[in-house]
């Protein structure tokens, strides 16, 4: 659900960074893998500890700096491709080396210590080159986003070559944000014509702009919409979210596509401070009522995945926001039940009252 953004401070650092001849060139192979980044950060901290002991007074003088560097190294281990963390860590190494250079060395300075200082400087240069590549990639992503803010290009090529649905198998397009984007539908539903068109981090407004290209053009029987969580995270007014979902329903009906709307998923951990259970329940109640009013299929993931406080059950998500494999295994039979309910509804259009007599899932209040 996230896009890389370069803050103004980082943009200034970018200019300063490339203004020096030492970093004028950064080949693509300078990019470190996540494992290499973590190993480098770990080795840097080891070298800071060992070299500090070799220079009188450096242990005490650098204590706070080394603690800060350790905290950054830990954070970097969780997000190895973060340009801002990489820059912060490099600057902390640079500050440590500058501090070490201000202190006098003993008359006999161990060759091992000299070699460790050289190794530390080499690792700093590796991280600097790594940062240059990361920043270049972030700049490229920003330019691409500016040219295509709704990421219409994401599925454009595959959509243009996508085969039409076969008569014996109804096609369903799954439209949404990261929870849909990360769902490997072909692995969970091997016998179904389920097509994933999720893009992490998108709001309902961005998803709406993709509706014709990513849904209607694929000629599905129905679309499964799971959208609105990013709206809650960004503080978008619930009325705006509702308007976008209604327009999706209207566009679907106008093109002969059956709209199906899913509840927002619960969230857990720190994510619940932004996507609060109350805000999610409010949107889910509206979606449920909208589906009842319009005779659309409502898919209630929330009730099966939330605890008694409306939070995501920890076993269903590793980050508190997106389902893990176990979470998707909970969601799979729920959506298959919704598909069956739609089949029954379409098989008996002359008596829609039967649809309402079937128990509809109710969002948690």
- 30-68 pLDDT per residue, tens: 888 888 999 999 999 999 999 999 999 999 999 999 999
pTM of the shown model: 0.60
The answer to whether the beta carbons of residues 198 and 177 sit under 8 Å apart is yes
**Within-domain flag for 205:** yes
Query: Could you tell me if 181 and 133 lie in one domain?
Result: no
pLDDT at 321: 95
122 and 257 share one domain: no
Q: Last residue of some domain: 147, 175, 205?
A: 147
Q: Give the single-character DSSP code of 317.
A: B
pLDDT value, residue 105: 92
Could you tell me if residue 231 is inside a domain? yes
Is residue 2 situated within a structural domain?
A: no
pLDDT of amino acid 331 = 98
- Phi and psi at residue 147, to the nearest 5°: -80, -25
Mean pLDDT of the chain: 87
Residues 221 and 336 reside in one and the same domain: yes
One domain, residues 343 and 321: yes
What's the confidence (pLDDT) of residue 20? 39
Based on the domain organization, do 204 and 316 belong to the same domain? yes
* Predicted confidence (pLDDT) per residue in 161-184, tens digit: 999 999 999 999 999 999 999 999
Looking at the fold, whether 211 and 294 belong to one and the same domain comes out as yes
Q: Is residue 110 part of a domain?
A: yes
Angle at 291 between CA 289 and CA 295, to 5 degrees: 125
What value does the mean pLDDT take over residues 283-290?
Answer: 98
Strands of the 297-299 sheet, one edge to the other: 193-198, 171-176, 222-226, 258-262, 297-299
- Structural domain boundaries, residue 204: 156-357
Task: Express each pLDDT in 221-273 by its tens digit.
Answer: 999 999 999 999 999 999 999 999 999 999 999 999 999 999 999 999 999 99
Is 364 within the bounds of a domain? no
Kindly give the pairing relationship between strand 297-299 and strand 258-262.
parallel
- Does a structural domain hold residue 363? no
Please report, rounded to a whole number, the percentage of residues in the chain having pLDDT higher than 70: 85
Q: Are residues 37 and 60 in the same domain?
A: yes
pLDDT band, residue 359 (cuts 50/70/90): very low
Q: Which two tokens stand for residue 78?
A: 């969780």
For the chain, the domain total comes to 2
Residue 234, domain CATH: 3.40.50.1110
């Amino acid at each position: 659900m996230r896009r890389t953004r370069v803050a103004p401070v980082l943009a200034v650092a970018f200019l300063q960074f490339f203004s020096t001849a030492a970093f004028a060139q950064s080949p693509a192979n300078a990019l470190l893998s996540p494992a290499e980044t973590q190993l480098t950060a770990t080795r840097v901290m080891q070298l800071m500890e060992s070299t500090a002991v070799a220079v009188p007074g450096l242990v005490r003088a650098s204590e706070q700096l080394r603690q800060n560097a350790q905290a950054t190294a830990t954070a970097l281990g969780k997000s190895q491709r973060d340009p801002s963390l990489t820059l912060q860590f490099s600057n902390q190494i640079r500050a440590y080396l500058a501090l070490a250079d201000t202190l006098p060395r003993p008359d006999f300075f161990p060759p091992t210590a000299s070699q460790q200082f050289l190794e530390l400087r080499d690792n700093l240069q590796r991280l600097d080159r790594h940062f240059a590549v990361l920043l270049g990639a972030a700049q490229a992503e920003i330019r691409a986003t500016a040219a295509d803010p709704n990421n219409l290009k994401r599925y454009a090529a595959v959509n243009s070559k996508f085969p039409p649905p076969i008569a014996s198998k109804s096609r369903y397009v799954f439209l949404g944000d990261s929870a849909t984007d990360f769902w490997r539908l072909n692995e969970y539903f091997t016998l179904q014509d389920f097509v994933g068109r999720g893009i992490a981090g998108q709001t309902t407004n961005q998803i709406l702009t993709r509706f014709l290209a990513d849904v209607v053009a694929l000629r599905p029987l129905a679309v499964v919409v799971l959208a609105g969580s990013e709206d809650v995270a960004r503080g978008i007014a619930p009325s705006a979210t509702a308007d976008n979902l209604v327009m999706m329903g209207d566009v679907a009906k106008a093109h002969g596509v059956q709209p199906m709307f899913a509840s927002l998923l619960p969230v857990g951990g720190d994510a619940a401070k932004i996507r609060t259970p109350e805000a999610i329940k409010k949107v889910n109640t509206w979606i449920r009522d909208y589906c009842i009013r319009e005779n659309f299929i409502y898919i209630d993931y929330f009730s099966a995945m939330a605890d008694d406080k409306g939070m995501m059950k920890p076993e269903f998500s590793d980050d508190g926001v997106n389902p893990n494999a176990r979470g998707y295994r909970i969601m799979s039979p729920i959506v298959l039940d919704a598909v069956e309910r739609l089949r029954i509804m379409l098989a008996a259009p002359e008596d829609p009252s039967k649809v309402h007599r079937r128990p509809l899932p109710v969002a948690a209040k």
